[in-house]
Amino acid sequence: DVKVTQSSRYLVKRTGEKVFLECVQDMDHENMFWYRQDPGLGLRLIYFSYDVKMKEKGDIPEGYSVSREKKERFSLILESASTNQTSMYLCAAGDRAGNEKLFFGSGTQLSVL
Amino acid sequence: DAKTTQPTSMDCAEGRAANLPCNHSTISGNEYVYWYRQIHSQGPQYIIHGLKNNETNEMASLIITEDRKSSTLILPHATLRDTAVYYCIVRVVFDKVIFGPGTSLSVIP
């Protein structure tokens, strides 16, 4: 199975800091996704990418940007972190050829103080 | 918005079959039905998917009605480790994946 690795399990940042969340997958999958998950709101799609240097906005892109310079790495960037971005962030990778079943990382719990 | 409707929660006795329903009455001809689950504090895990035929793998079976307006995920012998939130998703392949609130399944000893 695909392994999706997120760089940190827990992260604490201060308001206004620039935050990078890194995600790496090891199976050469074309598609990668970033979600956030909050109690009562479920999983919400922030950004996704179907190829290197390509990105598409999800349902809640405001306050975030992404970078995909290499196929295996998809980074989520919080340009100026705010307290309402405290959340669990989940990265996923999917293979077009395999009907795109998604494989998820373990998540990064980000706290912005 | 999610295109599916699922019960908020369900209980199942350990060792019995767990049958999780999902309504997707507006499904179109090229949309697949996918099931994922999320065990507490972990990322979601793919279970199974199908277009119109019933499907079975080592984890579960997926039964899709003939009109494709609903489906049922079956865990044949539920264990305590199957306690999780189960998500039913309808989507065209290559489209973005949108999760609804899912069904919280509790397997009772």
Question: What are B6-48's pLDDT values in tens digits?
Answer: 999 999 999 999 999 999 999 988 889 999 999 988 899 999 9
Q: Extract the tokens encoding B32.
A: 């697949």
CA dihedral B62, B67, B68, B70 (to 10 degrees): -70
The pLDDT of residue A1 is: 64
How far apart CA A76 and CA B69 sit, in angstroms, is 36
Residue of B42, B45, B96 with shortest CB distance to A45:
B96
- How is residue B67 annotated by DSSP? T
Q: Which two tokens stand for residue A102?
A: 């998604």
Asked if residue B18 lies in contact with residue B84, where contact means CB atoms within 8 angstroms, the answer is no
CA–CA separation, B23 and B37 (whole Å) = 17
Residue whose token pair is 């035929």: B53
Contact residues, chain B, for A59 at CB < 8 Å: 98
- C-alpha distance from B77 to closest chain A C-alpha (Å): 24
- pLDDT, one tens digit per residue, over B76-93 is 999 999 999 999 999 876
User: Does residue B98 belong to the interface with chain A, where contact is any CB pair within 8 Å?
Assistant: yes
A–B interface: beta-carbon pairs under 8 A: 50
Per the CB < 8 Å rule, is A59 touching B98?
Answer: yes
Q: Is residue A99 scored above 90 in pLDDT?
A: no
Which long-range contacts (C-beta less than 8 Å, at least 24 apart) are formed by A94-100?
A94/A29, A94/A30, A94/A31, A94/A32, A94/A33, A94/B97, A95/A2, A95/A27, A95/A29, A95/A30, A95/A31, A96/A29, A96/A30, A96/A31, A96/B93, A96/B94, A99/B32, A99/B49, A99/B93, A100/A31, A100/B93, A100/B94
pLDDT beyond 70 at B2: no
> CA of B85, closest CA in chain A: separation in Å?
10
pLDDT for position A97: 61
